[in-house]
Amino acid sequence: MRPLFQSFPELESAVANAGFAHLPTPVELHSFSGKAIYVKRDDLTHSSYGGNKVRKLELILPQAQRAGARRVVTFGATGTHHGLATAVFCRQIGLQCEVLLFDQPVTEAVQDNIRMLAAQGAELKHCGSLANTLRRFYLHPGRLQRRNYFLFAGGSNVLGVLAFINAALELKQQVDAGACEPPERIYCPASSNATLAGLTLGIALAGLPTQVIGVRVGPAKVGPFDSCTVKSVRALMQKTVRWLQRQGAEWTVPVPSPHVSDDWYGDGYGHQYAAAEAAAELFSETTELPLDPTYTAKCFAAVLADRSDGPIMYWHTLNSMPLAPLAEGFNSQQLPDSLIDTL
């Protein structure tokens, strides 16, 4: 049983769990140029496609089914891992998937992502700018139909946060079992916020002496709205705690203040820079695992810059399973013309 349900038995009827994530994920200790760092291997959450989204989706997708949905509509950048994970697991559990896409700098990884999205059966709508994507998401013609479940980018709703409260409780069990020391700091990438919000809440609930630092890799604001700031993360945490209380769960600790580091964003979402490239190189030399330029390389650059003596943990949120099988059967006729042009 997931530790979330051990802590909050009242959730068993309120929260469905598809149970497809392979948990707990291992914790490993690696030496990076002589610096010892724990790596929490969330790349291994599933053998078809791992990474942090699997934890969220195993709670979100069965909830969509319970609500009577046949199709999940979500959005992300053209390189969206969230969109791909949603397409993969929708297909596995028999839901249709529609992904609205906005542009990001085109790289080989982004092109591969578009091919995989299509091959996984997602219906793709290319919307150009983020503003236009948001407009089409909120004004979607199927908005009021029960058969559609609308999932915000990154899967960062209350269920996504619960998945990462569970992840922190899982880590506490690993600490108790002697798999690792209690970390002084945990670093994770932060973009749509549920990973950071859930880990921060879960660590407080677990009573670990750990500061969770979200390394911001997405824009702080979208128009006038906070999208990745202390304020937006706190709002998501508070919304989750209020939701838990409405289910009859007793929340016993003060809601902590989240930590967001703005120092590693660089020139923008998906834009690379030298320190992140060097961090990715060191990481893959040591672990034989790749980092991506958009999320994990920037986060790991922040980890390497940490000068404290205490145990540090890097929460590795990127899939490491081979991608080629996910692109099998790709046919460019599955794409709108404007996306064919990006390939």
Ligand X SMILES: Cc1ncc(COP(=O)(O)O)c(C=O)c1O
Q: How far is the CB of 285 from ligand X (least distance, A)?
A: 20
Q: How far apart are CA 165 and CA 163, in angstroms?
A: 6
Q: Which is nearer to ligand X, 70 or 261 (CB)?
A: 261
Q: Which is nearer to ligand X, 169 or 196 (CB)?
A: 196
Q: How far is the CB of 247 from ligand X (least distance, A)?
A: 22
Q: How far is the CB of 151 from ligand X (least distance, A)?
A: 12
Q: How far apart are CA 324 and CA 330, in angstroms?
A: 11
Q: How far is the CB of 38 from ligand X (least distance, A)?
A: 17
Q: How far apart are CA 237 and CA 256, in angstroms?
A: 9
Q: How far is the CB of 233 from ligand X (least distance, A)?
A: 9
- Positive or negative torsion for Cα 220, 199, 18, 330: positive
Q: Which is nearer to ligand X, 176 or 288 (CB)?
A: 288
Q: Which is nearer to ligand X, 7 or 86 (CB)?
A: 86
313-335 CB burial, b ≥16 within 10 A, e <16: bbbbbbbbeeeeebbeebeeebb
Q: Which is nearer to ligand X, 101 or 190 (CB)?
A: 190
Q: Which is nearer to ligand X, 176 or 263 (CB)?
A: 263
Q: Which is nearer to ligand X, 74 or 191 (CB)?
A: 191
Alpha carbon separation from 189 to 42, 79, 248, 282 (Å, rounded) = 12, 16, 31, 18
Q: How far apart are CA 106 and CA 338, in angstroms?
A: 13
Phi, psi of 259 (to 5 degrees): -115, 125
Regarding beta strands 96-102 and 185-190, do their DSSP bridges make them parallel or antiparallel, or are they unpaired? unpaired
E-strand ranges in 129-245 read 148-150, 185-190, 211-216, 221-222, 225-226
Q: Which is nearer to ligand X, 148 or 195 (CB)?
A: 195
Q: Which is nearer to ligand X, 195 or 331 (CB)?
A: 195
3-state secondary structure of 75: strand
Q: How far is the CB of 125 from ligand X (least distance, A)?
A: 19
Q: How far is the CB of 76 from ligand X (least distance, A)?
A: 7
Q: How far is the CB of 295 from ligand X (least distance, A)?
A: 4
For residue 309, how many other CB atoms are within 10 A of its CB? Answer: 6
The residues of the shown chain that bind ligand X, judged by CB under 6 A, are: 51-52, 81-82, 154, 156, 189-196, 295-296, 317-318
Q: How far is the CB of 290 from ligand X (least distance, A)?
A: 11
3-state secondary structure of 200: helix
Q: How far apart are CA 235 and CA 75, in angstroms?
A: 21
Q: Which helix (H) or strand (E) holds 304?
A: helix 296-304
Task: Looking at 67-181, list the stretches that DSSP marks H as alpha helix, in order from N- to C-terminal side.
Answer: 81-93, 108-119, 130-138, 158-176
